[in-house]
Amino acid sequence: MKSPGFLSLVTIVAEIALAGATTSTQSRVEPVNDLPNPFRPIENYFKLAEGRWWNSTSAVDVDADGTSIWVAERCAENSCSDSKLNPVLEFDESGNLIRRFGEGMFNIPHGIHVDRDGNVWVTDVQGPDGHDANRNGKGHTVYKFSPDGKVLLTLGRPGVAGDGTGGLLNGPSDVATGPNGDIFVADGHSEDGRDASAAMVARIVKFTKAGTLVKSWGRTGSKPGEFSSPHGLAFDSRGRLFVADTGNNRLQIFDQDGRFLAEWTQFGRPSGIFIDKNDILYCADSESGEPSHPGWRRGIRIGSARDGRVTYFIPNVEPEPKPAGSGTVGVAADAAGNVYGAAVNAGAQALTKYVKR
């Protein structure tokens, strides 16, 4: 029997997901703000090179062994377009910087994914804008790196925005690889990922592991299978693809062919998601509150990818109110249950480690 402490609508949504339903629930749950928080933050845990400082990052992941924390950091600012710094950083379990690469390749690194072989995938969400020559020839791409920084594959064409109909990308926010190596890209960062002249894009793009376009699905909207700024991706143990559909305040769940299975709204306004091997779901919410999601607080909600129950809530490390998008955007967790939050416009707290109390 379900625990009576959880809202009945959460139970209904979860049962629909488990049944593989193909229709949306459309209903919305009450704000989930007051759950227990068994975590505490450790400040200044990650040590950058001397003379360098944190500013903004939205991307963090942990390798399959749980021994390395990978971050795509925005070059001590909120953009790497005119920087000589390396935005892709690897840290060990003690917070020491091990490796860095990617100099001169990115405008705004946004999403990061470490695959089963230890390769590192990073998205560049922003292309040229006609005003800053430093942004030319960069952006609208996904790069696959070896662990030592060698480029193994490029999706999209650097500096060229797609129109949502083929393999060219337009503001790719995140990337994830499926169980057989297929590549999935959340394409269409509605706030700042498009060229001014480019068409509105909001879709999921599927490629083979070699980078050949297979298909895409989705368009701008709020119906099942439609998106408003698809912002984060993660797979559960059953191979279902979870999409952080930020602008619609929901997670959408699909099979790997793009068939809609369910939507969950109990995790807030999701910007980044991470699912561990035990199907614990970590969801970062950086934009809730007025005006986008009234009544909800920003932070990290932790629950189950199996039944949709939300069990913990880590409040935003920055006190509220803060400008929308200033909180934790990316999230990951290691095998020991430590949680890592990546935040935009957060200065020294751009990357925070949370440990059990």
Write down the pTM of the prediction: 0.90
- Helix (H/G/I), strand (E/B), else coil: 303: strand
Q: What pLDDT is recorded for position 316? A: 87
Q: What pLDDT is recorded for position 325? A: 52
Q: What residue spans define the domains of the chain?
A: 8-356
pLDDT at 131 exceeding the cut of 90: no
Q: What pLDDT is recorded for position 347? A: 75
Count of C-beta atoms within a 10 Å radius of residue 343 = 30
Q: How far apart are CA 185 and CA 311, in angstroms?
A: 29
Q: How far apart are CA 279 and CA 283, in angstroms?
A: 12
Q: What is the dihedral of CA 143, 147, 150, 155, to 10 degrees?
A: -20
pLDDT in tens, 148-169: 999 999 999 999 999 999 999 9
pLDDT in tens, 239-264: 999 999 999 999 999 999 999 999 99
The side-by-side arrangement of strands in the sheet containing 39-42 is: 39-42, 351-356, 339-343, 328-333
Mean local confidence (pLDDT), 297-324: 86
Q: How far apart are CA 45 and CA 96, in angstroms?
A: 9
Superfamily of domain covering 8-356: TolB, C-terminal domain (2.120.10.30)
pLDDT at 23 exceeding the cut of 60: no
22-26, 44-48, 106-110: range with lowest mean pLDDT: 22-26
Mean local confidence (pLDDT), 322-342: 86
pLDDT greater at residue 341 or residue 345: 341
Mean local confidence (pLDDT), 263-275: 97
